[in-house]
Structure 1
Amino acid sequence: MAFLRASLTAFLLAVASAEGTNGTATASSKTELPVNATNAKAVDPVPPIADKTEASTAGLKVKRGGQSQGPDVVRILHISDTHSLHRSTGNLPDADILIHSGDVAKVGSESELGDFNDWLGSLKGKYKHILVISGNHDFWDTNWRLNRGHISNEVAQDPAYFQHRITNARVLNHDLAEVMGLKIWGAGWHPRRGDSRSGNNYADIPEGVDIVVTHEAPFGIFDMTGGGHWGSSTALLDAIYRTKPKVHLFGHIHEQRGHWTKAGSQYQGGVEYRPSPYSGQVFRPNGPPPQHYPVEVESNNAMANQPSVDHSWTGVWAPQHIVGADLIGCSNAWQPGLPQWDATLKTLWAFTNLKVSAPDEVVLRIPLPNNVVGGDQMVMEKNDIGKWGIKHVIRGECDASQLMQSVECLQKTPQDVAQDLCQPHVCRVALRTSKGLLKMRVVPGWAPLGAQRFLQLVTDKYYTDLAVYRAVSSFLVQFGVTGDMERSSKYQALEDDELRGVPILEGMVSFAAAAPDSRVATVCIFLDDFPQLGKNRWETPFGRVDEESLPVLHKLFTGYGDMPQCGGTGPDPVQILEQGNDYIRQNFPQCDFVESAEWLQ
């Protein structure tokens, strides 16, 4: 088995259902990295490099994107712990089988389960088989009714109880599904059966299954939380050792989302959860399974964030939202130094490098450049001392020399920006101004440090009763300076974010700064497009005002002109620091104010 990253929201497995196939892996035409660079021969003297990316084990054919390679390959999409946020998972990638490993709901109410079932119904034409197991949250409402005698224990624990509510999928309740040549055992959650209890019937898992699907983790595998091992099962661990499945899919422990994939005798992967969206640090990473552990692919894909965990790390309470996307869909910021991809690639797992064989049979492990996007081609060459490296990258609309020398080729288009703003990891904020409500979307991947700071300031109620002291017609509006030193002194200047090609367009939101590493709390919102700006790292936008709020933005008063430090006669921010808002109200009575800021669900 080998494990591949798919889309922005889920994990994708390519599984060989036929025995005895040779382990090979090929790249689709959309994501050939590295490639047979036939269209680059005029500028590249290096012979084409054959794509010999290795699969982790024999018995598997893996295709990076594209359609399946034949009847012996089954594509499996694994999702988990969507907690009634299933409609925020975006456009799930194509696969043969969709598997959800529990916690489809927040409390398991009839309305939640009904909406989830309707959503599955909309996917039935996309997947040949849909398999679901129940999680602990899916029975909260049931347990409430059990405890009050509204239903009997026999009814609640009837295997058909959950299936009657999820009719657009096959619900596995400690039973076996044999689909497309694979034996898949699903062990769902039960009312009044908790973690690690023998009542979970893990002893019933038969030998010879290919895939085991549970909600909880086996003890010691992706179960480390603040207090140590939590939410895992020793009985399940014993069952895994006994039955030796090739793949184990689960969720439950959100802050341990990640995967382990066995390559030879070693496991690759690890925890990928980052307290969202405020930190690039992995939550409590733990070591791989023991070397003799029988499972080849171990996947915890709990997709929603865990607000209490995020708060314990960041001091910020954020709404629950889908964050499984953050590691692939944003940028390198969530995992500095590791390759990450936009939605068009859909395949490369962020913890791995490509492994290829050069024409001279040298095996290369290539960390991919930060500026590579879906559809690009990498051309390799050997230097004077015999070492291979990346010579240049070819993009369809640019020749190789343009791409390496021109920042413009890396600039996001307005269409890219619009797509970014619709991703499930985006956070929504509203500024209440004296002219009306300004709704905006914050995209952590554009400027992770800037987004983190802004959202922290919103949570801390920093943006309360602040003058829009700089308002220049057709240019920008600016706010964030306060005479309350107790309020402002707790925030230090930020390091600059990396440039990610985000253009300055109408409604873009960024911090106001004039020098490296000087962003603190002052925010500017642009009133028009300014393609000449955004070339400095401290100018990187972190969000954009919603189109519906642009009329409110343009109503903000701009009649006083620019501030004195920029040659104007408008309000002086230095005087605001010294005198507070009295200075504004006495001397610039038409100035607008940001009255408050808040998160939007």
Structure 2
Amino acid sequence: MSVYNSLKRARTPDSSRPEDETSSKKPRSSSPSLSSAIKAPVPVRFLIMSDTHDGHDKILKSTPQCDVLLHCGDFTQDGSPEAIKQVLDAFSKIEVELKLFIAGNHEIALDKEYYLSQGGTEEGHQKARRLLCTPGIRFLEEGTHELTLKSGTHFKIFVSPWTPRYGSSAFQYSTHKDRFNQSNMTPSWAENVGTTASIIPESVDIVMTHGPLKYVLDKPGDGTSAGREHLRRAIARTRPRLHCFGHVHKGYGAQRVRYDDRKTIKKEGDDRMVLLPQEWVGKNQAKRKGHANLPPGSAEKFRNNAQETLMVNAVIMDDDDQPENAPWLVELDLPSQEFDSKKVRNLG
């Protein structure tokens, strides 16, 4: 649930209790109403990309106007401190109010245990970590973060760089481990390793992970599914407005998801997620514009149905590992807050 909806529910009057006649004549409290602290939702433009693999120069030539840039990881190819510096320096120069980055499995120098196992040094790891403080870039560690734009628009985002183990790479974990849910949500065959940081909370607005959830934009091209079952269970439980990711290069695209609470859960692993058809993308048109976006009809349906989640696989590298896919431009209606702390306290 978003901050706007949670505060709105907290202030809903009890219509079943009749108003006392004398109390209605009393002067109203000077405490502000909800509307004085929470304004109507404001449209915020998110530019989403992933797996740029050092191909950022081509993307940054025509960055569309946006409020927030989300990079879902694998912004480098070899993950060295030098590559990390080059990419973050380039992105720091573009004019976007908020630029949020997470690591991917290619950012090996940021994963200390893996980096050292591959011959990296402690000095190299520390150098890479210091680069995360590049001015103009907000690098997010796994966990939930609350962010506010200059306009007062507020959102809560959960991020994670971790993907299931496939070959040898950084930020990977065993597929039988569930890191995104509480233990009572973990199936009997799996091991729960969730922490305060790694469990996705119910009230999150956006989820940004490096890899996809199971059966959603996760086909690597060999007929298998590369997505994560435990992540899917967490998304079905929390129902964020947006879930963006990358990692699977052949999964580029967008897909809306609905939830059917009338659906009967018949066996372990079932959920109430209903997948709508994958959105059509005119790749040539998107390249000319510098971004992809939902078709008008789908955008309107998504905007008018607050119970839907928009899934976006924003890999920039195409099937030939060339930076030919366009980033996604997505508009979300988010609450806007005023910052007078006294007003916020009085809402309770």
**TM category, shorter:** 0.5 to 0.7
CA–CA distance in 2 between the matches of 1:263 and 1:163?
Answer: 41
One-letter amino acid matched to 2:86: D
Aligned residue in 1 for 2:78: 107
- SS of 1:242's equivalent in the other structure is helix
Using the TM superposition, give the Cα deviation of residue 194 of structure 1 relative to its aligned residue in structure 2, in angstroms: 3.8
Query: Which sections of structure 1, spanning at least 5 residues, go unmatched?
Result: 1-15, 21-69, 275-293, 308-319, 329-345, 349-601
Distance 1:17 1:300, change over 3 A: farther
Aligned residue in 2 for 1:306: 319
Indicate the percent of aligned positions where both proteins have the same amino acid. 25
Superposed CA offset, 1:485-520 (max 9, x none) = xxxxxxxxxxxxxxxxxxxxxxxxxxxxxxxxxxxx
Distance 1:177 1:258, change over 3 A: same
Aligned residue in 2 for 1:129: 98
Total equivalences in the alignment: 231
- SS of 1:136's equivalent in the other structure is coil
CA–CA distance in 2 between the matches of 1:166 and 1:84?
Answer: 19
Superposed CA offset, 1:177-228 (max 9, x none) = 2223111111123835247363755641111101000010111111223333
Distance 1:18 1:252, change over 3 A: same
Task: Confirm or deny: 8 A CA contact 2:84 2:128 kept in the other structure.
Answer: no
Distance 1:199 1:209, change over 3 A: same
The structure 2 residue matched to 1:233, chosen from 201, 204, 228, is: 228
Matched, 1:139 2:108: yes
Equivalences for residues 73-112 of structure 1 within 5 A: 73-89=43-59, 90-112=61-83
Aligned residue in 2 for 1:256: 251
Task: Confirm or deny: 8 A CA contact 1:216 1:253 kept in the other structure.
Answer: yes
CA–CA distance in 1 between the matches of 2:129 and 2:91?
Answer: 14
The structure with higher relative contact order (CA 8 Å, sep 6+) is 2
Task: Confirm or deny: 8 A CA contact 2:109 2:128 kept in the other structure.
Answer: no
Aligned residue in 2 for 1:212: 207
- SS of 2:172's equivalent in the other structure is coil
CA–CA distance in 2 between the matches of 1:111 and 1:258?
Answer: 31
Distance 1:232 1:262, change over 3 A: closer
CA–CA distance in 1 between the matches of 2:201 and 2:256?
Answer: 23
Using the TM superposition, give the Cα deviation of residue 321 of structure 1 relative to its aligned residue in structure 2, in angstroms: 2.2
Task: Confirm or deny: 8 A CA contact 1:18 1:72 kept in the other structure.
Answer: no
Using the TM superposition, give the Cα deviation of residue 150 of structure 1 relative to its aligned residue in structure 2, in angstroms: 4.0
Distance 1:83 1:17, change over 3 A: farther
TM-score where L is the length of structure 1: 0.34
The structure 1 residue matched to 2:278, chosen from 263, 266, 269, is: 269
TM-score where L is the length of structure 2: 0.56
CA–CA distance in 2 between the matches of 1:271 and 1:254?
Answer: 17
Task: Confirm or deny: 8 A CA contact 1:102 1:134 kept in the other structure.
Answer: yes
- SS of 2:107's equivalent in the other structure is helix
One-letter amino acid matched to 1:184: I
Query: Which sections of structure 2, spanning at least 5 residues, go unmatched?
Result: 7-39, 148-152, 164-169, 182-193, 260-273, 284-306, 332-348
One-letter amino acid matched to 1:110: P
Task: Confirm or deny: 8 A CA contact 2:221 2:250 kept in the other structure.
Answer: no
Distance 1:263 1:241, change over 3 A: closer
Aligned residue in 1 for 2:19: none
Using the TM superposition, give the Cα deviation of residue 140 of structure 1 relative to its aligned residue in structure 2, in angstroms: 7.0
Largest Rg, 1 or 2: 1
Distance 1:201 1:259, change over 3 A: same
**Structure 1 vs Structure 2 CA RMSD:** 3.8
